[in-house]
Structure formats: C-alpha cells, structure tokens
C-alpha cells in the first residue's frame, strides 16, 4: 500500500512539471498582448493649485456672559437679529441684583450727565457773560494800578500842585499868626466877652486851615505807610488774579473743556459703566445674534454663555499650508472654496494673510493662512468644513505631457518619454520640463504637438504610476 502511494505521488509531480512547462509560454504571451497606455501631446492651459481644509469663520465672534448673579429680566433681541454696537441684548431683573449694582447704575447716569455737560458747546449768552466779566476785571485792575501809582512818593501831585499847596500853607500860617495876635490882645478879658469869643473862634479856624494846608502838602510830598503799601499791593494782586480767572473762563468756553477734565470724566463713566454692565449683556460690535442661552426668569450662572454675537459682514477660512508650498503663496491669489455641506457650490476668495511663524504644536511644519470669501450664499454657515484650492501659477497655451508618461533614466537625472511611431515603433526621447501640476507638466523642449507617448501595461509594472518612475521600455 505504501509503495502504491509513493508511485501515485511521483506521477502527480511529473504531471505538475509538464503542466507548468505548457502554461508559462501562454502566460508570457498574455502579458505581451496587454495594451499600452497612450496619450497625444497637445497644447492647453496649466494651473497649479495648493490645497487645504478649514472652517468657515466670521469677521469677529464673541461669547457674552454675565459677571453678576441674578435672574434674567428682559431679553431684548432675537436670534438672527442684526444689531449695532452698544445694543443691550439681555439684562437682569433689578429686584434680583445686589444693591451695589443698583447704585452703580445711578452713578453711571450721573457720570454720563457730567460728561455731557462738560462736552456741551457754550451758548452765546455764556460767551457774552464771560467777555463782560473779562472787561470788568480789566477795569478793576486799571483802577487798582492807578490808585497804587498815585499813592507812591513823587507821583501824588505835579510840581505846580505842590507849589500851590506850599503857598496855601504860607497864607494859612500868616492867617494863624494874625489870629493869634488878635486873640492875645483880648485874652485878658473875661470868658463871656464877645470880642474875646470872636477872636478865639477866628484863631481856631485859622489853626484848622493851617493844619489842613500842612496835611495836604505832606500828602503831596509824602509816601504811603507800610500798612497802606501792603493794602495797595494786595488790591492790585487781587485785581490781576480776577482778570486772569475771567480770561481763563472765557478761553475755556471758546476752546472747549480741559482735556484732563474730559479724560477724568470719561474714566468715571467707564468705571461706572463696567460695574453696571455686570447686570446686562451689551454688543461690543455690530453683528448678528447667533444664539441666546437663557429664557426670562432663568437664574444666571456667572461665566456661562448667555449670548453669541458674530460679525457676518465678511467670512473667511483659516487653513494651513505645508512648508514645501508656502513659498508659492502670495496675498491676493485666487482661491476656490468648496463646502462639504454644499458640494455643488464653488465660492471664490483670495489669500488675505500669511503668518510668518509656523503653526505651533503641529507634527509637520505648516503655516497659517487666512482666505477671505467674496459674496457668500445664504446657505453658508460659520463652522462649515471648507476645502480650499489656491491658484499659485497659471500658463496658457503650453505643450502638455501627462505625468504618468515621464520616466527617469536609470543612473541619471535625465527625464524622458516613450514616443510611439506610426508603425508602433517606440523611441525614448529626453524632455525638458517647466511648470508641473499633479496631472500634467509643461514641455519646454523635446516634444511637439500631435506626437503620441505611451507606457506599456504589464502585470509587474502597471500604468499610471507616479511621475518619474524609474524604468525603460
């Protein structure tokens, strides 16, 4: 039995060898009969694109949250509503607020009123009153300076006035001497003698006239006392200060408020506003209300998003470009944008920004690029996934060869193609290439339009391999 099995196994082996001998030629014949992949060299346009992906982003977006505790009072906007900057979107119920926030709102109103008053333009009556105050202060100063000047020694009277005063004093002294002589003649009479009484009256009158003439002369030729001079100086100083203050008040009306006062007033308004804003959500810029996170009466959790605002006036895509392609990217280049959600629409855009520093934390070196979109369709929503194609080069009417037809000469850097003749004969032709895309390359020299290039299809070397496949045939 064992011998029979060995004989059968030997026969099977011989049959297998004979079968292989007959099958292999048939297989080789089948391989040689396979067709070639061919293409005709033609002229056309060549575009080079750099691709990437990203998300549709708005010009600006902010998530707003309350900083104070309380209950939602009023929701003043709706989702989808376009609001200007400064619009109050939502506010808390006054009854649920901390007393300090209620006081802050009153302080805000007072600070705003003060700032408005400070910035208000002066009326014509205010300016006229200020001008009158300046004129009156100038008159008062002039009077004070005149009084000060005429009180100084040597400036109280002219020489003629002094001479006249001296003459009046001389006459008064003579009248006094005469009156004294008359009185002395009658001084021995009784006190009730009428002639003596007349002489005494004349004597007293003459003495008063002499004293008055002496005082007048002394004043004309004298100088003020220290106390009088101090008073004169103070009166002039006060008049100067009044005039300065009146002029400054007029200048302030004409030139507007002091910038420091305005800055201080604005700072008070900002401080009060910041405190009051804890009880409300305010749009920091003009935009569209994207979401509302609360309903009236809801209890607020400080820091939780209450509203989302986005500026949809322009859209853009944030993407990245590999370091091998970034050198070809320029601002202003045309970009085609397609969306996963809207595959039938092609949006046009352009490169708006190229970062100089690569993206941090990436396994490969990639540079952030911002692509702005033109007019977008209503169906486009922020957050949609977008595929971008940036046109980095374009050449029109150039000779094109498919990249699958390009081969590298083994052991050389020469590039060649297999050109087929009219009878099927093949010839390796070296070519010089220019611009290259993923599918085609520009032929600078070596080929002409209308020539046919081909690559034989074999089982161990399928057609359509990447450009510059090493091999011949």
Domain residue limits, the chain = 1-33, 36-45+397-470, 49-55+312-395, 67-119+266-302
Query: Counting beta carbons within 10 angstroms of the beta carbon of residue 391, is it exposed (0 to 12), middle (13 to 18) or buried (19 or more)?
Result: middle
Fold of 67-119+266-302: OB fold (Dihydrolipoamide Acetyltransferase, E2P) (2.40.50)
- Of 34-43, 59-68, 120-129, 235-244, where does mean pLDDT reach its minimum? 120-129
Fold of 36-45+397-470: 2.40.420
Question: How far are the Cα atoms of 96, 309, 314 from residue 77, in angstroms, in the given order?
Answer: 21, 11, 22
pLDDT band at 375 (very low <50, low <70, confident <90, very high): low
pLDDT: is 42 or 466 the higher one?
A: 42
- How many whole angstroms separate alpha carbon 420 and alpha carbon 179? 161
Fold of 49-55+312-395: Elongation Factor Tu (Ef-tu); domain 3 (2.40.30)
- How many whole angstroms separate alpha carbon 55 and alpha carbon 58? 10
How many helices (H) and strands (E) in the chain?
7, 19
- List, for residues 86-96, the tens digit of each pLDDT value: 999 998 888 88
- How many whole angstroms separate alpha carbon 130 and alpha carbon 248? 9
- Is this model's pTM higher than 0.75 or not? no
Of residues 130, 107, 110, the one with CA closest to residue 118: 110
- Provide the 10 A C-beta neighbour count for residue 317: 26
CA 231 to chain CA mean position, Å: 59
The SS3 of residue 387 is: strand
- CA-CA-CA-CA torsion for 369, 373, 379, 385, nearest 10 degrees? -10
- List, for residues 397-442, the tens digit of each pLDDT value: 999 999 999 988 777 788 999 999 888 789 999 999 998 888 999 9
The C-alpha angle with vertex 78 and arms to 75 and 81, in degrees rounded to 5, equals: 135
The C-alpha angle with vertex 418 and arms to 413 and 422, in degrees rounded to 5, equals: 155
- List, for residues 232-278, the tens digit of each pLDDT value: 899 999 999 999 999 988 887 777 777 777 788 888 777 777 777 77
* β 385-402/440-445 pair status: antiparallel
């Amino acid at each position: 039995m064992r011998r029979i099995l060995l004989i059968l196994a030997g026969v099977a082996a011989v049959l297998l060898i004979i079968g292989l001998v007959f099958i292999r030629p048939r297989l080789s014949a089948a391989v040689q009969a396979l067709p070639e992949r061919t293409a005709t060299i033609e002229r056309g346009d060549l575009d080079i694109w750099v691709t990437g992906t990203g998300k549709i982003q708005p010009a600006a977006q902010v998530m707003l949250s309350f900083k104070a505790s309380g209950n939602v009072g009023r929701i003043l906007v709706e989702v989808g509503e376009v609001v200007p900057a400064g619009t109050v979107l939502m506010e808390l119920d006054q009854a649920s607020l901390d007393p300090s926030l209620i006081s802050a709102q009153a302080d805000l109103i007072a600070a705003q009123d003060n700032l408005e008053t400070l910035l208000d333009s002066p009326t014509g009556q205010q300016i006229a009153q200020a001008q009158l105050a300046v004129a009156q202060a100038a008159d008062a100063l002039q009077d004070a300076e005149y009084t000060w000047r005429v009180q100084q020694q040597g400036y109280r009277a002219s020489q003629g006035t002094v001479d006249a005063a001296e003459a009046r004093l001389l006459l008064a002294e003579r009248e006094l001497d005469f009156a004294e002589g008359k009185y002395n003649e009658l001084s021995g009479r009784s006190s009730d003698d009428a002639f003596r009484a007349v002489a005494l009256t004349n004597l007293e009158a003459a003495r008063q006239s002499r004293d008055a003439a002496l005082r007048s002369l002394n004043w004309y030729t004298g100088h003020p006392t220290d106390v009088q001079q101090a008073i004169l100086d103070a009166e002039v100083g006060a008049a100067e200060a009044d005039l300065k203050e009146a002029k400054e008040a007029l200048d302030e009306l004409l030139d507007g408020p002091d910038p420091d006062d305005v800055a201080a007033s604005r700072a008070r308004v900002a401080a009060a506003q910041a405190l009051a804003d804890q009880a409300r959500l305010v749009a920091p810029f003009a935009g569209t209300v994207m979401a509302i996170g609360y309903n009236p009466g809801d209890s607020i959790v400080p820091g939780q998003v209450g509203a989302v605002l986005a500026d949809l006036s322009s859209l853009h895509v944030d993407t990245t470009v590999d370091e091998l392609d970034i050198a070809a990217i320029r601002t202003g280049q045309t970009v085609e944008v397609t969306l996963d959600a809207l595959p039938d629409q092609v949006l046009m855009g352009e490169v708006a920004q190229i970062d100089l520093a690569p993206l941090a934390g990436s396994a490969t070196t990639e540079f952030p690029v911002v692509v702005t979109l033109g007019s977008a369709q209503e169906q486009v929503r922020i957050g949609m996934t977008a595929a971008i194609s940036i046109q980095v080069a374009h050449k029109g009417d150039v000779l094109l060869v498919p990249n699958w037809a390009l081969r590298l000469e083994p052991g050389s850097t020469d590039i060649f193609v297999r050109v087929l003749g009219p009878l099927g004969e093949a010839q390796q032709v070296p070519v010089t290439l220019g611009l290259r895309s993923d599918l085609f390359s520009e032929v600078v020299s070596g080929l002409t339009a209308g020539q046919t290039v081909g690559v034989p299809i074999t089982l161990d070397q399928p057609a359509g391999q990447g450009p510059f496949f090493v091999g011949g045939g």
